[in-house]
Structure 1
Amino acid sequence: MDVTDATFSSVVLDNDLPVLVDFGADWCGACRMIEPVIHELASDLGGQAVVAQVDVDDNPQIAARYGIKALPTLMVFKDGQPVEKVVGAARKAELRARIDSHSAPSKTLL
């Protein structure tokens, strides 16, 4: 899901689910390299979390607000607050673990 300066609050900050935000740009080689991983995570997570992408060139307010200095930067938000940050390309398993650590535990009936 592409997020803009205008939609960031409603999609990321006001979301009840954990949100992985991929801050990147079209010209960034490492961003293009991890794009398939980001798409796989979005598919795998279904209703457990939201995966969003922010183009920092088109949305400079968000990038400035969160001090994005290197690309890609991946941040996990929970309850409107950044709780995890990874700078540079990361493996799918690492990103999944960071998201899962902020997901609500599943409820089971006894």
Structure 2
Amino acid sequence: MKNDSLEHIQSQERLLDQQLEESVYEEKKLRHLQEENEEFFFKTNQVFDGVLEQFSQNQFAWYLEDQLAGLRHDHQRLQFAFEEEFQEQKQQRQSIEEQQNDLAFERVRLQSQVEKMEVQP
């Protein structure tokens, strides 16, 4: 009975290890997407600034300024979404780590009980 419980705990620990690895991988992917977004925004912002400088005395400057403002708004919205996702990933990882700690404690407790039963005549 105790061995079945230990095996179950070890199975759960392996599952949580896998979930933690997946969470770390997802966070790395998210960071990469955030970096790509930053690079794209920077390059696009430079292009808009250059074009706006060329057309500053033109009647279409307002249109470019409006487009640039839209780009900045979209960038801020994406940054907010990234931060929300990072927080969610952090909470998920913390939950997994707490479950791992609980299972490790339970495993040690069961192992000590098994050892005590084996020592007793």
Instruction: State which structure, 1 or 2, has the greater radius of gyration over its C-alpha atoms.
Output: 2
Which TM-score applies when normalising by structure 2? 0.22
Larger relative contact order (Cα-Cα within 8 Å, sequence gap ≥ 6) = 2
Which TM-score applies when normalising by structure 1? 0.24
